[in-house]
């Protein structure tokens, strides 16, 4: 016997699989007879919100406010719906109530407090001078959705639901496809408008949000909403290459996760970083922005959440890294006008500030999909009032008279020194740019010329980390403090400043000696002075970066006193340096102490006339290290007891 599901159970199943238009249709039928039915109002409101129509959800949330087990979250979404409709005073009242009454939900109270701060910020934002001029791109827009503009090789790409008769059950609107059109800046040639090929656009699937490599020969785009997976997990990123005059069949890229939503990709201008939005586990809220490093084969690694400066308890998506090295993105979690607003990350002295682009660029509607084809002009998307239909593409110009862009680059060469002190260029060397706190910012692999290039910012400290098989991993500092140009001296809209450096890697081989600078000892002493401690800290870092090496710390003396005494003194000095390294966390079995006394001088202890040479004697009172073994990685033993070690030794 076949038992059919009731209409309500079908609606519940539709909600589970994100077919929100069917849910809305069913429960509106219920509301036509029972307008105050809390369950029906809840599912209509949630379906509107989850299909990005929170403005329409307002009257339904209003009828269920304060009722049921979900009253706290409903209160938040009701406030957000009011804000999306420009009812800021009413939204503020709801948030104040929520901030004081949310039952045992500290995260929700915190969210309400942040939303209140955001509403207060809007008054300040409106007072700021705004230089943006925006205009609807009338020639391109239709009554359907046009969104996600991207520019490559004189072609404007965008997604649109025009011309697609099949309906997406989440929103009740047609599926979207990708289009291209020739354009000069914002002047499009509609006679060249066409769909991307059928291996890119598929039936019954939303295709959109496209980005290109700098040469335009690789594209990544989002595809999904086929209904094969429930909720928002049915969107992934795909990669295609332009070969023999056509785009290859797309392949799913390796950062996709089966139970999460990945979309809104953007490739950096150097082609080495992919930014995207995802709701994968471990984020800060709904959708977060992530970055991933891309190699020459289009494989991705080091997926990293962009952190709490950018990501919030709300949604962050549509990242875009401009030529100005500024990251733009859209968010409904940072202080804004209601729905998605466009924000820019401004970096100053190593810290990020997140700034709303303000009125004109932002509205009470969704504003997203920023793209600059010049530093002072570009495209974005909005469904604000006054458009031609659903989402529309807009153009903008930034008339700020003080807009001057300075791009700072750090270029260098990786090499080693041969025995005759000539340089040997090092290809295939991985160079990483690290922030002052050690966080990896960018990676680069050198070519045959050994060169590397990074984008850097003024008034910041960095580390360069070089890694290559057969060589010691090397870490050295670099700073841009004192190297920036004055804003008043700038004449052009864009100024590029290139800074130079060198990174010398040492061969990793047994019995190679390395003299440590500034590890000098006072006469007849074995104490570690501050200068020596600073130098030994660098050795600690080197040992941590090269956990597979075992070293000998060799100490040397001048020729004052007897040879036997100097042997004993140098042994104490060597053991002093080893103990310092152990206290800094280096495993004892990686270290040996050896006192050489006066037997291996590197300078004269006396002048040719027999008089004392104090400078030479100080040079001889030195410490070196020598690689004894190169083996598997040595980790600090769990059972190692530092206090017991020093007590026994």
Output the six-digit token pair for 114. 């942040």
**Residue 330, strand partner residues:** 317, 342
pLDDT per position as a tens digit, 486-522: 888 888 999 999 999 999 999 999 988 888 887 877 7
- Rounded CA separation 527/394 (Å): 69
DSSP one-letter code for 134: E
For 639-649, letters b (16+ CB in 10 Å) and e give eeeeeeeeeee
Instruction: State the CB neighbour count (10 A cutoff) for residue 628.
Output: 16
Phi (first) and psi of residue 410, to 5 degrees: -115, 115
With beta carbons less than 8 A apart as the criterion, state whether 61 and 71 touch.
Answer: no
SS3 assignment, position 233: helix
The class (CATH top level) of 513-648 is: alpha beta
Q: Could you read off the pLDDT of 509-561 as tens digits, one per residue? A: 998 888 888 787 777 788 888 888 999 999 999 999 999 999 999 998 888 88
Dihedral pair phi/psi, residue 166, rounded to 5°: -85, 140
- Please give the pLDDT value at position 504: 95
Averaged over successive runs of 10 residues, the pLDDT of the chain (649 residues) comes to 70 87 92 92 92 91 72 84 91 88 76 87 84 95 94 94 77 88 92 95 92 95 70 80 95 92 94 94 93 83 92 95 92 90 90 92 94 94 90 96 92 93 94 92 92 94 95 95 89 93 94 83 80 91 95 90 90 93 94 92 90 88 90 56 50
Question: What pLDDT does 169 receive?
Answer: 73
Q: Is the dihedral of CA 107, 109, 110, 115 positive or negative?
A: positive
The domain ranges of the chain are: 7-127, 132-398, 405-504, 513-648
Token couple for 302:
């080091």
Residue 296 in contact with residue 215, Cβ under 8 Å?
no
150 near 188, Cβ under 8 Å?
A: no
**Cα 519 versus chain centre, distance:** 40
Residue 350: count other Cβ atoms within 10 Å of its Cβ.
14
Task: For residues 316 and 203, give the distance between their C-alpha atoms in angstroms, rounded to a whole number.
Answer: 28
**Cα gap 440→431, rounded to integer Å:** 10
**Closest among 161, 263, 283, 174 to 220, alpha carbons compared:** 263
Retrieve residue 491's tokens.
């004449």
Q: Does domain 132-398 have CATH number 2.120.10.30?
A: yes
Give residues with Cβ within 8 angstroms of 649, minimum separation 6: 579
* Token digits of residue 446: 């050198």
Asked whether the beta carbons of 463 and 476 are under 8 A apart, the reply is yes
Of the candidates 292, 279, 265, 266, the one whose C-alpha atom is nearest the C-alpha of residue 233 is 279
* C-alpha dihedral (99, 100, 105, 111), degrees to nearest 10: 10
Helix (H, G, I), strand (E, B) or coil at 69: coil
pLDDT of the residue at 100: 83
Q: Outline where DSSP puts E strands in 386-456.
A: 392-398, 405-417, 423-425, 430-435, 440-445, 451-456
Cα(569)–Cα(596) distance, integer angstroms: 9
Dist CA 612 CA 606 (whole Å): 5
List Cα–Cα distances, 594 to 567, 568, 571, 622, 624, in angstroms.
9, 10, 6, 12, 10
CATH number of 7-127: 1.25.40.10
Query: Given this model, what pLDDT does residue 258 score?
Result: 87
CATH top class, domain 405-504: mainly beta
d(CA 454, CA 456): 6
Q: What distance lies between CA 211 and its chain's CA centroid?
A: 17
Q: How many residues does the chain have?
A: 649
């Amino acid at each position: 016997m076949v038992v059919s599901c009731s209409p309500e159970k079908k609606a519940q199943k539709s909600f589970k699989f994100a077919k929100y238009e069917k849910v809305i249709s069913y429960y509106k039928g219920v509301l036509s007879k029972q307008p105050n039915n809390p369950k029906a109002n809840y599912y209509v409101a949630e379906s509107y919100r989850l299909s990005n129509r929170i403005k329409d959800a307002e009257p339904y949330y209003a009828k269920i406010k304060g009722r049921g087990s979900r009253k706290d979250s409903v209160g938040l979404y009701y406030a957000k719906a009011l804000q999306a409709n420009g009812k800021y005073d009413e939204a503020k009242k709801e948030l104040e109530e929520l901030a004081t009454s949310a039952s045992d939900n500290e995260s929700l109270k915190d969210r309400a407090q942040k939303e209140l701060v955001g509403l207060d910020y809007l008054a300040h934002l409106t007072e700021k001078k705004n230089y943006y001029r925006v205009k609807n791109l009338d020639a391109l827009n239709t009554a359907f959705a046009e969104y996600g503009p991207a520019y490559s090789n004189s072609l404007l790409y965008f997604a649109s639901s025009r011309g697609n008769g099949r309906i997406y059950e989440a929103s009740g609107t047609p599926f979207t496809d990708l289009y291209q059109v020739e354009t000069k800046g914002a002047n499009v040639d509609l006679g060249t408008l066409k769909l991307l090929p059928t291996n890119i656009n598929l039936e019954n699937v939303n295709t959109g949000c496209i980005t290109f490599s700098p040469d335009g020969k690789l594209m990544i785009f989002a595809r999904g909403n086929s209904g094969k997976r429930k909720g928002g997990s049915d969107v992934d990123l795909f990669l295609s290459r332009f070969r023999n005059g056509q785009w290859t069949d797309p392949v799913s890229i390796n950062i996709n996760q089966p139970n999460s939503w990945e979309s809104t990709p953007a490739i950096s201008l150097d082609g080495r970083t992919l930014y995207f939005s995802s709701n994968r586990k471990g984020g800060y809220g709904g959708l977060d922005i992530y970055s991933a490093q891309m190699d020459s084969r289009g494989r991705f690694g080091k997926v990293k959440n962009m952190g709490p400066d950018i990501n919030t308890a709300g949604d962050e998506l549509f990242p875009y890294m401009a030529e100005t090295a500024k990251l733009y993105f859209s968010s409904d979690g940072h202080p804004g006008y209601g729905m998605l607003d466009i924000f820019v990350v401004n970096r100053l002295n190593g810290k990020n500030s997140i700034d709303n682009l303000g009125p004109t660029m932002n509205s009470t509607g969704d504003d997203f999909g920023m793209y600059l084809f010049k530093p002072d002009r570009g495209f974005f998307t909005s469904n604000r009032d006054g458009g031609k239909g659903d989402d529309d593409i807009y153009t903008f110009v930034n008339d700020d008279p003080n807009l001057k862009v300075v791009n700072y680059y750090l270029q260098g060469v990786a090499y080693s020194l041969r025995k005759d002190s000539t340089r040997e260029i090092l290809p295939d060397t991985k160079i990483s740019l690290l922030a002052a706190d050690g966080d990896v910012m960018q990676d680069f692999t050198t070519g045959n010329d050994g060169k590397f290039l990074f984008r850097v910012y003024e008034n910041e400290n960095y580390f360069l980390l070089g890694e290559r098989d057969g060589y010691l991993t090397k870490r050295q500092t670099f700073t841009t403090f004192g190297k920036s140009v004055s804003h008043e001296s700038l004449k052009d809209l864009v100024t590029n400043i290139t800074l130079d450096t060198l990174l010398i890697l040492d061969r990793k081989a047994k019995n190679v000696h390395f003299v440590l600078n500034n590890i000098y000892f006072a006469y007849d002493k074995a104490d570690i002075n501050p200068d020596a401690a600073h130098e030994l800290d660098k050795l600690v870092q080197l040992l941590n970066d090269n956990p597979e090496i075992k070293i000998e710390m060799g100490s040397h003396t001048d020729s004052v006193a007897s040879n036997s005494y100097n042997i004993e003194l140098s042994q104490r000095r060597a053991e002093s340096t080893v103990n310092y390294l152990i206290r800094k966390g280096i495993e004892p079995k990686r270290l040996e102490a050896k006192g050489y006394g006066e037997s291996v001088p590197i300078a004269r202890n006396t002048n040719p006339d027999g008089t004392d040479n104090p400078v030479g004697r100080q040079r001889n009172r030195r410490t070196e290290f020598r690689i004894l073994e190169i083996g598997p990685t040595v980790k600090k033993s769990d059972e190692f007891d530092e206090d017991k070690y020093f007590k026994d030794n």
